[in-house]
Homo-oligomer: A and B are copies of this chain.
Amino acid sequence: MELRQGKQVYEMPHQLTYYECDDTGHPTLGMMLSMMTMVSDAHSIALGMDTATIQQTGGAWVITEYDGEVATEQPHFGDQVILGTRALAYNRFFALREFWMTDAGHEKRYFHLRATFVFMNLKKRRLMSIPAQLIEPFNSPEQKRLPRLAKPASLTTTDPASRQYRVRYFDIDVNHHVNNARYLDWLLDPLGGEFLRNHRPVRLVIKYQHEVRENATVTSQFQLVKKTPGLVSSHRLLVDDQVCATAEIGWVEKSIQK
Q: Say how far A184's CB is from chain B's closest CB, in angstroms.
A: 9
B19 touches A179 (CB 8 A): yes
The bracket for how many chain A residues form the interface is 35 or more
Q: Cβ of A18 < 8 Å from any Cβ of B?
A: yes
Q: Complex Cα distance A45/B78, Å?
A: 9
Chain B min CB distance to A75 (Å): 13
Rounded to whole Å, the gap between the CB of A3 and the closest CB of chain B is 15
Listed stretches A107-115, A168-176, A200-208, A237-245; interface member: A168-176
Closest 8 CB pairs of A and B: A19-B34, A23-B172, A168-B189, A169-B189, A17-B38, A170-B185, A169-B193, A25-B174
Contacting residues, chain B, for A196 (C-beta < 8 A): 169
Inter-subunit contact A34/B17 (CB<8 Å): yes
Q: Give bound CA distance, A169 to B28, whole Å.
A: 11
From residue A191, how far is it (CB to closest CB) to chain B in Å? 8
